[in-house]
Amino acid sequence: MDDSIVVKPQTLSKGRLWTALVAILLGQFVVAIDLTVLNIALPELTRDLSPSSDQLLWIVDVYSLVLAGFLVATSSLSDRFGRKKMLLAGFLIFGIGSVLVVFINDASQLIAIRAFLGIGGAMIMPITISMIRSIFTDSKERAIAVAAWSAISAIGMAAGPLIGGFLLEHFNWHSAFLVNVPIVGVAFLLGVLAMPEVKLKNPGRFDVLGSVLALAAMVALLWGIKHLAAELAFDVPGVAATVAGLVLIALFIYRCLKSPHPIVDLSLFRSRTFSAGVIATMACTFALAVLLYMLAQWLQLVNGDGTLESGIHLIPMSVATLVSSLGAAALAMRYQARHVVAAGLGLASVAMLMMFFF
């Protein structure tokens, strides 16, 4: 265990340790399903709120945009104020935001609430994996916990359309948000009872400028890309925002390299193993999110499936995700991890090519 950690989690009983993991996994699950659960509800939501094309893009993407923009800041702040506090606060925000959806009556309000949920997601997602790293000191138990975290993340994204389809078959589109409430409620209760507090003794000064640069860069770049995609033309606002985002990213990198207490330690990317892992994870996450979005829309709008039927058609993906996530950890212990990752990327590529031809 790192000596800079205040709490020594090895004093936790096994029961408390695994109960804390359940809370962590529930939190990660609810963040993951919110990335895709709305895909299946878009047709009904569009009929009810009549959003413009720009508003529809933001309803889908503002959650992940805000989540990504705040990830760095919330992760850094949790080391200073406590990872447990940050995680529980994220659960509360998620629960409150999910309830507020019941009271909206136009698309702009839904966009605002999705952004609010994104802040909660940013307070949950990075803390769950860092909490696992802190409280599981035994290497075998940690491997099991990390495998479970990876599995629940992938399952949440893949099962989102199925959960949404089932709910919309029996209720209206608001239920796609209200399903979060009991999940985060249980996670919050278990977290209060079982999680230890973990923070760093000497984390250094919080890099406010670096945090602002990261958020501004993410918002400007993604807004510019989305605007260009919506307009289908290289207009001035879209190009200007995209260029501004790239410039801010360059400034953020420069800040991290020069700051004595960088918000992100970019020296980690000197490791080819680390860099390759990050790139592979990013590519897989991007591909899965896009695939689920396109399939959910195609099944309903082109194939004519109902919401539940569309979700059922995506069950094989959820099952395969569960099996492969758990199996990958076992394979990585027996073979080199890079070979397992390369095989997974190869299989995913072949499967997507098959979809193109069939």
166 in Cβ contact with 311 (< 8 Å): yes
pLDDT average, residue stretch 56-71: 81
pLDDT average, residue stretch 45-58: 81
| Closest alpha carbon to 67 in 19, 109, 128 | 128
Domain-by-domain residue ranges, the chain? Answer: 9-204+267-357, 207-262
Residues facing residue 5 across a β-bridge: 200
pLDDT of residue 1: 43
| Closest alpha carbon to 89 in 223, 177, 192, 221 | 192
Read off the pLDDT of residues 178-229 as tens digits, 9 standing for 90 and up: 888 999 999 999 999 988 888 777 766 778 888 888 888 888 888 888 778 7
Least confident of 151-155, 242-246, 305-309: 305-309
171 in Cβ contact with 154 (< 8 Å): no
pLDDT average, residue stretch 322-335: 74
Q: Is residue 296 helix, strand or coil?
A: helix
Q: Is residue 23 predicted with pLDDT exceeding 80?
A: yes
Instruction: Give the domain 9-204+267-357 fold.
Output: Growth Hormone; Chain: A; (1.20.1250)
Q: How far apart are CA 127 and CA 304, in angstroms?
A: 40
The pLDDT mean for the chain works out to: 81
Q: Is residue 69 predicted with pLDDT exceeding 50?
A: yes
Side chain identity, residue 266: L
267 in Cβ contact with 329 (< 8 Å): no
pLDDT of residue 5: 53
Least confident of 2-6, 10-14, 196-200, 276-280: 2-6
Read off the pLDDT of residues 93-107 as tens digits, 9 standing for 90 and up: 989 998 998 888 888
Name, in order, each residue with C-beta under 8 angstroms of 298's C-beta and a sequence gap of 6 or more.
none
The tokens for 254 are 């420069």
Q: Token match 């207490």: residue?
A: 261
pLDDT of residue 2: 47
| Closest alpha carbon to 44 in 156, 160, 180, 171 | 171
- Model pTM score: 0.75
Read off the pLDDT of residues 156-170 as tens digits, 9 standing for 90 and up: 777 777 777 777 777
pLDDT average, residue stretch 117-140: 86
Rounded to whole angstroms, the maximal C-alpha distance in the chain is: 60
pLDDT of residue 192: 92
